[in-house]
Amino acid sequence: MEKSNRMFKKLIATVIVIGLLVIGIKVFSWKITERKTSPDKNFEVVLMDARFRILFSDRNFQVKVKKLGWFDSYKTVFVSPDENAFAQERFIWSKDNTKFLLVAKNLIIPSDNKENILLNTGEYLYLFYDLSSNQKWCNCNSSLDKSFTFNDISNIEFLESLHLSKNSF
């Protein structure tokens, strides 16, 4: 009787551990909050947010790209530094399917560069990625990424016309 009681307790403990692992994976996983497919439908870029934020005080997100196909997986091309908890982001593809922008409102932008990256939509140029060279530029607080301005991308045709804001700081 005591042996079956111990086995039952081990079974219950195992079920509880497995349940906590499943819940933990779900809670601490990433969720797609923004996605955009390239004009030729060969690539998809996604912005993934952590499902759980400690005290909801800051935010980290990832930008991932994948070539669309049966067995392709996402490749992480950017991991953000700590950002504001609430922001509005969207992707804009180039017409030739080789580059994309992440534009955003309410993300942390270094103040010395704002006038050169503020669009007339009220969004800032945040991330620029070139698929063909696997290079990225970012207007964020990370010292690892080179910043860029409107002039750096003005010769690229995007699916939307981009215009700098007329406001000056």
CB-neighbour burial class of residue 89 (10 A; exposed 0-12, middle 13-18, buried 19+)? buried
The phi and psi torsions of 111 (rounded to 5 degrees) equal -70, -20
Asked whether the predicted pLDDT for residue 65 surpasses 80, the reply is: yes
pLDDT at 45: 96
Tokens of 106: 């309410």
| DSSP state, residue 98 | S
Query: What Cα–Cα distance (Å) separates residue 81 from each residue in 58, 143, 156, 169?
Result: 9, 10, 27, 25
Asked whether the predicted pLDDT for residue 27 surpasses 60, the reply is: no
pLDDT at 66: 93
Are 85 and 58 within 8 A, CB to CB? yes
Of 162, 167, 144, 160, which is closest to residue 152 (Cα–Cα)? 162
User: Can you give the pTM of this predicted structure?
Assistant: 0.77
pLDDT at 4: 73
pLDDT at 17: 66
Token pair 């045709």: residue: 157
Summary mean pLDDT of the chain: 82
pLDDT at 19: 58
Query: What Cα–Cα distance (Å) separates residue 65 from each residue in 23, 48, 58, 60, 97?
Result: 27, 11, 24, 17, 12
Confidence tier at 57 by pLDDT (50, 70, 90): low
Are 76 and 63 within 8 A, CB to CB? yes
Amino acid at 75: K
Q: Which span out of 6-20, 107-121, 130-144 was modeled with the highest average pLDDT?
A: 130-144
pLDDT at 150: 92
Q: Per-residue pLDDT averaged across 56-75, rounded? A: 83
- % the chain with pLDDT above 90: 40
Token pair 């750096």: residue: 152
> Of the given ranges (46-50, 68-72, 148-152), which has the lowest mean pLDDT?
68-72
pLDDT at 26: 45
Helix (H, G, I), strand (E, B) or coil at 9: helix
